[in-house]
Amino acid sequence: MSQDYADLFCALFDRLAPTEFHATGEAWVADPSVADTAAEVERAALAGEPVAAPDEGRPTFAVLLGLDAALAHVNPLLAEAPPAALTEYALRYAESGRLDSGARPGALLPRFARPGRRGQLPDDLGDAFASVVRVGAAAWTACDHAALPARSRLTRRDREAGLRVATVPMIREPDELNWEVEERAELRFYRIHPADREPTHARVERVIAAWDERDVAIGVAPELCLSRALLERWQVALRGREAAAPSRLRFVVAGSGNVEGSSPPANEAVVLDAITGEVLARQPKVHPFNFSPEDLELWGLADRLTAPIDEDLRRGERVSVLEAGGVRLAILVCEDLARLHAFATALHAHGVSLILVPVFARPTKDRRWERARAEVYCDATGSSVVVANSLVVAEILGTSKPVGSALAVAPGHAAVGHSSEPDDVVVFTLDGDGPRVAYEAGSGSSSA
């Protein structure tokens, strides 16, 4: 390439002071000459011609608008085959998960989500651009990044009719888990993990078959429902399917747990390729969930644990951002969803469009903590959030069936899915009208 338009965007964006945009951006947006310059820059970029780098704020903003419009042609959510002059950017994104070369700190990414309540004017400089997100250096270095392989990425077909994301409780009976207490330095810690009983393992194939039958693109299992042996069962079952080729299942979050058997235990969510069973990413839980006496009474666990007691956790340090084909994905394990201060800023800066959340919690209801926290993320980032819960605490509490086991939240909308059995799947459709329950095995209902 004779000129790198993505790198140029980064350089001009970084040069333009946010305070100047706040002070005069209204006039820039309304200026016909800005629109004319932007159109000329877009035309030049689509033709592979040089684009000048101005020094003043107004013309800089105009060039940025034009580059943004041109780079819309390589955004997999907005375009199909890019023009010849921009093919290099599409290939770069496919290979590295970014549009820029990395010459400057931070990154330039395709935009897949629009944050917050939009008015007539952009709230900030970054919100002025419809097709790209400029991630600053601090937010970029705060996260890990990965681009999923082509076979694991969502396709245009996966997204066009509404993205289908499914959950499953996996475990209902408390005796399918081991409940352990560790004491150190006069402090108490709890460890909960699968007992690796055959009924738990046998569900894996049935769940995958149900997801395939329902044309699911992404499957999610809950927190504390994964062990090393269960991870191997998921991997064998995924790569051993006879009908794997026509399946629309792209990747699976096979729950979370201490899959490496470390002590103190890690609590990692593991992302698997749906065809090969290959581990694509791991997201360790960062923040432990600690029980007070009131919590144990509320959860029906006072006869199993004695408060105060903390989750025994080898804590993770960072959140991973995954490029998944027109979707930018992050995984927050249970309590991490509640820690808004820790992750919301970085996920907003990245333009994350989907957050998957395995939890171990009381029965999922419309107005419990999961929805409250998810709505904050939705408003801040424009993302959708899908929460997957088991049935264990519901069983301990004697909750009548079907039980709330899943939640999907998008800006202004929410839907709760219900299950009766541990292998009952819930399928959500995520589209522009907000999430809806497309199928609940526990109730036999289906809208698709």
Is residue 243 scored above 80 in pLDDT?
no
Structural domains of the chain, with CATH: 5-141 (no CATH), 150-446 (3.60.110.10)
* 114 confidence band (pLDDT: 50, 70, 90): confident
Output the six-digit token pair for 111.
Answer: 């935009």
Per-residue pLDDT reduced to its tens digit, 416-443: 999 999 999 999 999 988 899 999 986 6
In the chain, what percentage of residues exceed pLDDT 90?
A: 83
Between these two residues, 57 and 117, which has the higher pLDDT value? Answer: 57
- Residue-level pLDDT at 380: 81
DSSP string for residues in 89-143: HHHHHHHHS-SS-S-SSSEEEE-----S---SS-SSGGGG-SSEEEE-HHHHHTE
What is the overall mean pLDDT for the chain?
A: 93
- Residue-level pLDDT at 446: 47
In eight-state DSSP terms, residue 199 is H
- Residue-level pLDDT at 271: 98
Per-residue pLDDT reduced to its tens digit, 256-266: 999 999 999 99
- Residue-level pLDDT at 412: 83
- Residue-level pLDDT at 2: 66
In the chain, what percentage of residues exceed pLDDT 70?
A: 96
Output the six-digit token pair for 287.
Answer: 């923040």
- Residue-level pLDDT at 367: 75
Dihedral in degrees, nearest 10, Cα atoms 354, 346, 373, 334: 80
Query: Contact at 8 Å (CB) between 253 and 358?
Result: yes
Per-residue pLDDT reduced to its tens digit, 116-158: 666 677 888 998 999 999 999 999 999 999 999 999 999 998 9
Output the six-digit token pair for 73.
Answer: 């042609």
Q: What is the mean pLDDT of residues 73-85?
A: 90
Q: How far apart are CA 414 and CA 320, in angstroms?
A: 25
Long-range contacts of 99-104 (CB under 8 A, 24+ apart): 99/6, 99/71, 99/74, 99/132, 100/4, 100/6, 100/7, 100/9, 100/10, 101/4, 101/6, 101/7, 103/4, 103/7, 104/7, 104/10, 104/11, 104/14
Per-residue pLDDT reduced to its tens digit, 347-359: 999 999 999 999 9
Is residue 179 scored above 50 in pLDDT?
yes
The Cβ of residue 396 has, within 10 Å, a number of other Cβ atoms equal to 17
Q: Which one, of 57, 62, 63, 47, lies nearest residue 21 by Cα?
A: 57
Q: How far apart are CA 288 and CA 258, in angstroms?
A: 13
Q: Which one, of 122, 115, 123, 125, lies nearest residue 21 by Cα?
A: 125
In eight-state DSSP terms, residue 174 is G
* Ramachandran bin of 37, using left for φ above 0, alpha for ψ from -120 to 50, beta for the remaining angles: alpha
Least confident range of 56-70, 79-93, 115-129, 202-216: 115-129
* 344 confidence band (pLDDT: 50, 70, 90): confident
Per-residue pLDDT reduced to its tens digit, 1-45: 569 999 999 999 999 999 999 999 899 999 999 999 999 999 999
**CA atoms within a 13 Å half-sphere pointing along the CA-CB vector of 112:** 24
- Residue-level pLDDT at 56: 93
- Residue-level pLDDT at 60: 97
Q: How far apart are CA 80 and CA 160, in angstroms?
A: 13
- Residue-level pLDDT at 118: 65
Residues sharing a CB contact under 8 Å with residue 91, sequence separation 6 or more, in sequence order? none
Q: Report, in angstroms and rounded to the nearest whole number, the Rg of the chain calculated over CA atoms.
A: 23
Place of tokens 């088991």: 390
Q: Which helix (H) or strand (E) holds 322?
A: strand 319-323
Output the six-digit token pair for 92.
Answer: 């770069």
Is residue 246 scored above 90 in pLDDT?
no
pTM of the model: 0.95
* 447 confidence band (pLDDT: 50, 70, 90): very low
- Residue-level pLDDT at 372: 87
